[in-house]
Amino acid sequence: MGIDKTVIAISTLIAVTTATSVIAANQSQVEQLIKTKECSECDLPDARLAGAELIGANVRDADLRKADMRGAKLDGAKFMRSNMLGADLRFALLSGADFLNANLLEAKLEGANLFRANLKYANLERAILNQASFRNADLQFAKLIGAKIDGANLERANLSLADLEKADLSNSRLKRTNLRRANFSEANLTRANMEGASLEGTNFAGANLFHTDLRSSKIDSDTFFDPKWFLVWKIVNQRVEGQTLVAADLSGGNFEKANLAGVNLEDTNFTEAYLFITNLRRSNLARVKFNAANLRYADLTKANLTEADFAGAQLSDANLEGANLSFANLRESIINEETILDRKWRVVWGIVNRGGEESNFTGFDLSSANLRLARLRGARLVDADLTKSDLRGADFVGANLQRANFSGANLTGANLRGAVLQGANFCGATLPDGTTGKCK
C-alpha cells in the first residue's frame, strides 16, 4: 500500500514538473519571438500575440494552434508548414506573408490584409475569411472547402487548382482572378464579381451563381456550368441580338449592360434577375416573369410586354416608352418620376398600386389593362374605354360608369353595387356572376 502511494506521489510530481516546464518554455519562446522575431519550430499553442509587432518574423514549422494574433503586424512573416489550426488572425496585417503548406484549418482571418501573401498548398478548410483582402495573393492548390469568404477581395489572386467546394463566396470580388481548374462545386457565389476572371477548366457543378457578374470572363471546353448558368454566361459574353430564347430559365441571372435588343424572350423567367442598364429594346417579352427583378435604367422601348409580370420589380429610371403593356401586371412594381412610361400605363400603375377611389377617369383609355382587384369605389369612369380589360375582383361600388365600354372585359367577381351603369356597354364581357354580357 505504501509503495503505491510513493509511485503516485512521484508520478504526480513528474506531471506537475513537466506541465510547469511546458508553460515556462512556451512563455520563454513567446518572449524570444517578440524580442528576436526568430522562433522556427517553436511550441506556441494558445500564444497571446494580439497586436504584436512581428514584421518579417520567422515562425516556420511552429505550433501556433489557437494562437491569438488579432491585429498583429505580420507583414512578410514566414509561417511555412506551421500548424495554425484555429488560430485567430482577425484584422492582422499579413502582406507578403508566407503560408506555404501551412495548416490554417478553421483559422479566423476576418478582415485580415493578405496582399501578395503566399498561401500555396495551404489548408484553409472551414476558415473564416470574411472581408479579408487577398489581392494578388497566391492560393494555388489551396484547400478552402467550406470556408467563409463573404465580401473578401480576391482580385488578381491566383486560385488555380484551388478547392473551394461548398465555400461561401457571397459578395466576393474576383475580378481578373486566375480560377483555372479551381473547384467551386456547390459553392455559394451570390453577387460575386467575376468580371474578367479566367475560368478555363473550372468546375461550377451545383454552384449558386445568383447575380454573379460573369462579364468578360474566359471559359473553355473544360469549364463546367450547370445549363442555366452556362446560358447566362453566353448571353453576357456573346452576341444574342435577334435570337430566340423562348421559355428560358434566367431567374437570378446578372445581365448588367447586356444587349438583348430584338431577342425573342417569350415566356422567359427573369424572376429576381439583375437587369441594370440592360438593352431590351423591341424585344418580345410576352408573358415574361420579371417578379422582383432589378430593371433600373433598363431600356424597354417599344418592347412587347403583353401579360408580363412585374410584381415587385424595380423599374426606377427605366425607359418603357412605346412599350405594349397590355394585361401586364404592374402591382407592387416600383417606379419613380424618371421612369419613362406612356401616360396610359402610368395611370394603370397608379390605380393598381395606390388605388383609384373617387378619382376622375372620364373618357380615359384603360383598354386591355390588368386592373385585377382595382379599388375604384366612387370613381368617375364616364365614357371610359375598358374594353378587354382584366377587372376580376375590382371594386366599383358607387362608381359612375355611364357609357363606359366594358366589351370583352372580364368582370368575374367584380363588385358593381350602387354603380351608375346607364348606357354602359357589356357586349361579350364576362359579368360578375360568370354570365356573358349581351350585345345590343
Residue-level pLDDT at 241: 73
- DSSP track, 15-72: HHHHHHHHHHHHHHHHHHHHHHSB-TT-B-TT-B-TT-B-TT-B-TT-B-TT-B-TT-
Residue-level pLDDT at 379: 97
Phi and psi angles of residue 279, each rounded to the nearest 5 degrees, phi first: -90, 110
Q: Would the pLDDT of 20 be above 70? A: no
Sign of CA dihedral 114, 118, 120, 124: negative
Q: Would the pLDDT of 16 be above 80? A: no
Q: Which domains does the chain have, with CATH numbers?
A: 239-340 (2.160.20.80), 355-440 (2.160.20.80)
Percent of the chain clearing pLDDT 90 (strictly above): 92
Report if pTM > 0.75: yes
| 190: DSSP letter | T
Residue 342, classed as helix, strand or coil, is coil
Sign of CA dihedral 200, 203, 205, 210: negative
**Which residue matches cell numbers 515556462?**
24
Length of the chain equals 440
| 124-176 pLDDT, tens digit each | 999 999 999 999 999 999 999 999 999 999 999 999 999 999 999 999 999 99
Q: What is the gyration radius of the CA atoms in the chain, in angstroms? A: 33
Residue 242 — pLDDT band, cuts 50, 70, 90?
confident
CA–CA gap between residue 286 and residue 326 (Å, rounded): 10
Mean local confidence (pLDDT), 231-242: 90
